Amino acid sequence: MKRIKVSTLALGIVFGIFGLHAFAHESANGMHISTKSPQAHVFFEKGIQKMEMLHTQDGLDNFRNAVQADPQFALGHIFLTFFSQDPTEQVAEREKALATRASAGPEEKLIIDWLANASQANWVPAIQAMNEALSGYPNDKHLHWLAGWWLQLDRSQTQRAIAMFEQTMKIDPQFADAYNEAAYCYARQNNFDKAFADIKRYAELVPNEPNPQDSFAEISRMSGRFEDALTHYRMSLKIDPSFHESQLGLGDTYALMGDQQKARAEYAKAIAVASPVQKVVWSLQVAATYVREGDLAAADKAFSAVAEQAHAKDFVNLEAEAYRSMSLYQLEGSASLALLAKAEAALKEVHKVPQSLLNQELAQVLRTRVERALADNNAELAAATLKQLQTLSEANDADGIISGAFHGAAGTMALTEGKFADAVNHLEEDDSNAISMRALIAAYNKNGQQGNATRLAAKLAAFNMPLIEQAVVVPEFRKQRAAMASKSNPALDPRAKYR
């Protein structure tokens, strides 16, 4: 499953597990569902099945049909909030879920309180509601799965997410998607042996679905096995030619292999059949291909077009991301800061976008401003922006994305100021971001931790996520590393054979 920009959930519920009782049905290990419409119940269960296998649009359509059949179906509304990739739909459905909450059962109310508060960046009540639900319904496999997926959005909570998925497997060893989600968690920990073992089990449970092959492909790509990734993406598309996420994966893989022209051709096929929000998100990945090529004028043109497209659709968080992405590779500091100002201004306009998404993107904008100011020797701007970012982080202390942005910026400032131990402490809290990884390697070296520096350098050189941070850091880092290796050992220089 694609894990890059959007929250796509998969709750592995077998069709019919809840029966078709009209109100508040429950099973021994299932979720409580309250709807007076049997038709809404059927649509809801079918939507879950589709989401489980990443048939995203079919799943969303079934959820929409469910709440159309029963507008008072609060759980259906909150699932749309969580599953939808459209930030404006997320807000609208959250409001409907809260408005119809009184018609929900006790477990559903906790889920609504949890996910609605998370959407509004009210982290303490969100966590309290999740914990209360888990405590009150310890045998609900779907609830544990949902908690695991939510926790894995924060990379600092990966181990806790694994525990949730493994509890789901313990309750129901046939719960296919729990293995899939756990595999991604293990892959992010670089435990690829365990990741591939879980993906193999996932594929055994649902052999005729395309998503296991898609997951095999993505984890293969993460581990640097590009040819295997291409093979599995094509196997996925052979099973289901309409499985557009695998078409996107072909583009991602070629981009990371260095063939940007072929990547754009594959991306174009995916975007042609994508939803409006997917078109914007996936176009950001297209724009990054020009950065990897070093064609910054083409990159500017592509990112500007994405910003305009996102603005027209009111996807303001994605509009800001496009401007921020442009700022990362600008040669002139003034141009970079101007783009960051545009991103921040867009985020501060009135939009129907979840506050959590606005806060997360603002944190990335502020982080980038700190780093740019430090690069331009503007200590005053860097300090003032870091203080602003710290305030945002303290107000959202349970948001790992915002916390990571703060630690990345604070670590970079500490490194610049020669406070190497402090730099290490901060940057280790954001060690899955390519920009922080590069700074942390320098901090390790300055702090006398050459062994850690060597290990992290190998990890950064093998960083295979199709993100803008990867595009601006990793290709150049690989070149520098290869040059250093050839300098210390001329036999490693690929030009040596021509001398």
Q: Report the C-alpha gap between 320 and 17 in whole angstroms.
A: 42
The separation between CA 133 and the C-alpha centre of its own chain, rounded to angstroms, equals 25
Report pLDDT for 488.
Answer: 62
In which band, very low, low, confident or very high, does the pLDDT at 467 lie, cut at 50, 70 and 90?
very high
Fold of 1-139: 1.25.40
Report pLDDT for 498.
Answer: 26
Q: Report the C-alpha gap between 63 and 458 in whole angstroms.
A: 44
Q: Is residue 86 predicted with pLDDT exceeding 60?
A: yes
CA distances from 205 to 63, 177, 184, 440 (A): 25, 9, 17, 41
Q: Is the dihedral of CA 17, 19, 24, 26 positive or negative?
A: negative
| Domain ranges, ordered by start, for the chain | 1-139
Neighbouring-strand partners of residue 25: 33
Q: Report the C-alpha gap between 222 and 192 in whole angstroms.
A: 9
Region 408-413: what's the mean pLDDT? 98
In which band, very low, low, confident or very high, does the pLDDT at 496 lie, cut at 50, 70 and 90?
very low
In the chain, the percentage of residues whose pLDDT exceeds 90 is: 81
In which band, very low, low, confident or very high, does the pLDDT at 350 lie, cut at 50, 70 and 90?
confident
Other C-beta atoms closer than 10 Å to the C-beta of 343 total 29
State pLDDT tens for residues 380-394. 999 999 999 999 999
69-73, 150-154, 276-280, 287-291: least confidently modelled range = 150-154
In which band, very low, low, confident or very high, does the pLDDT at 485 lie, cut at 50, 70 and 90?
confident
Tracing tokens 């610049």 back to the chain, one arrives at: 416
Task: Give the phi and the psi of residue 25 in degrees, each rounded to 5.
Answer: -75, 150
State pLDDT tens for residues 230-259. 999 999 999 999 999 999 999 999 999 999
Task: Give the phi and the psi of residue 33 in degrees, each rounded to 5.
Answer: -130, 130
For 162-186, b/e burial (b = at least 16 CB within 10 A) is: bbbbbbbbebbeebbbbbbbbbbbb
Reduced to 3 DSSP states, what percent helix, strand and coil does the chain have, rounded to the nearest 5?
75, 0, 25
State pLDDT tens for residues 153-187. 877 789 999 999 999 999 999 999 999 999 999 99
Report pLDDT for 19.
Answer: 32
Tracing tokens 């759980």 back to the chain, one arrives at: 75
Sequence-ordered list of residues with C-beta below 8 angstroms from that of 136, at least 6 positions apart, any chain? 106, 107, 110
CA distances from 495 to 252, 257, 458, 487, 488 (A): 29, 21, 23, 12, 14
Neighbouring-strand partners of residue 33: 25
Region 360-376: what's the mean pLDDT? 98
Report pLDDT for 156.
Answer: 77
Helix (H, G, I), strand (E, B) or coil at 489: coil
In which band, very low, low, confident or very high, does the pLDDT at 489 lie, cut at 50, 70 and 90?
low
Sequence-ordered list of residues with C-beta below 8 angstroms from that of 495, at least 6 positions apart, any chain? 486
